[in-house]
Amino acid sequence: MGIARRAGPRHRRDVAVYLDFIETLLAAGLSGARTLESLRIEFRREISRPVAAITAGLASSLDGGSFRIFNGDRTFVCGEVDLTPRPGR
């Protein structure tokens, strides 16, 4: 799996939290017959303390999908994943 990352100085400490959300989205929304090949993340802004809730969404396609972690019109993280079929399936 390759991970390409573009981040500003404000966004580095929340990477593990974002990856956990993305992993949960992938497990819930994509076929188990595929494996993660690459992940591209764009960090847009830090989730500040006043944010009471966030939403995570995934739009899947045949060979991957795109995701977004947001609150209303504020996007915190977005990106794309590429998937490949698991061997033997």
Look up residue 75 and give its two tokens. Answer: 């996007």
pTM above 0.85, yes or no: no
pLDDT in tens, 24-67: 887 777 666 678 888 898 988 888 778 888 888 888 877 888 99
Question: What range does the domain containing 49 cover?
Answer: 2-6+13-85
Give the per-residue pLDDT at 68: 92
Instruction: Indicate the number of domains in the chain.
Output: 1
Give the per-residue pLDDT at 59: 87
Give the per-residue pLDDT at 8: 52
